[in-house]
Structure 1
Amino acid sequence: MSDLRSTQSVSKEMLSIADRLRQLISRWVRITRDQAGTPTSVQVETLRILNNEGPASIAALAQQRAVKHQSMRVVVEQLAIEGTIVKSADPTDRRNQIVSITGKGRSLLRQERRARALWIAQLLQQSCTSDEVAQVIAAMDTLERILAKAPKNSSS
Structure 2
Amino acid sequence: MSADRVNVSPSAQRLSVDLRVIFGRLRRKLLEVTDSDDLTPSQASVLARIGKGEAVTASGLAAVERVRPQSMATLLGSLARQGLVVRTADPTDGRRQIVGLTDDGRRRVEGGRAAREAWLPQLIEDRFTEEERQTLLEAIALLDRLAQ
Q: TM-score if structure 1 supplies the norm length?
A: 0.71
Code of the aligned partner of 1:29: R
Code of the aligned partner of 1:12: P
Provide Cα deviations, 1:89-112, integer angstroms capped at 9, x if missing partner: 123442442223345434422321
Q: TM-score if structure 2 supplies the norm length?
A: 0.74
Provide Cα deviations, 1:117-153, integer angstroms capped at 9, x if missing partner: 3222222222211111111222222222332x2xxxx
8 A Cα contact 2:90 2:98, kept in partner: yes
Hey, what does 1:153 align to over in structure 2? none
Aligned residues: percent identity? 30
Any unmatched runs of 5+ in structure 1?
150-156
Provide Cα deviations, 1:15-52, integer angstroms capped at 9, x if missing partner: 11211122122222223433564565222221233234
Number of equivalent positions: 145
Question: CA 1:41–1:55 in 2, change beyond 3 Å: closer, same or farther?
Answer: same
Residue 14 of structure 2 is aligned to residue 13 of structure 1: no
Q: Which moved more, 1:9-18 or 1:58-67?
A: 58-67
Any unmatched runs of 5+ in structure 2?
none
Separation (CA, whole Å) in 1 of partners of 2:33 and 2:44: 17
Hey, what does 1:154 align to over in structure 2? none
8 A Cα contact 1:88 1:98, kept in partner: yes
Hey, what does 2:85 align to over in structure 1? 85
Q: Which moved more, 1:69-78 or 1:113-122?
A: 69-78
Hey, what does 2:128 align to over in structure 1? 128
8 A Cα contact 1:86 1:102, kept in partner: yes
1:69-80 matches, within 5 Å, as 69-80=69-80
8 A Cα contact 1:38 1:115, kept in partner: no
1:97-116 matches, within 5 Å, as 97-102=97-102, 104-116=104-116
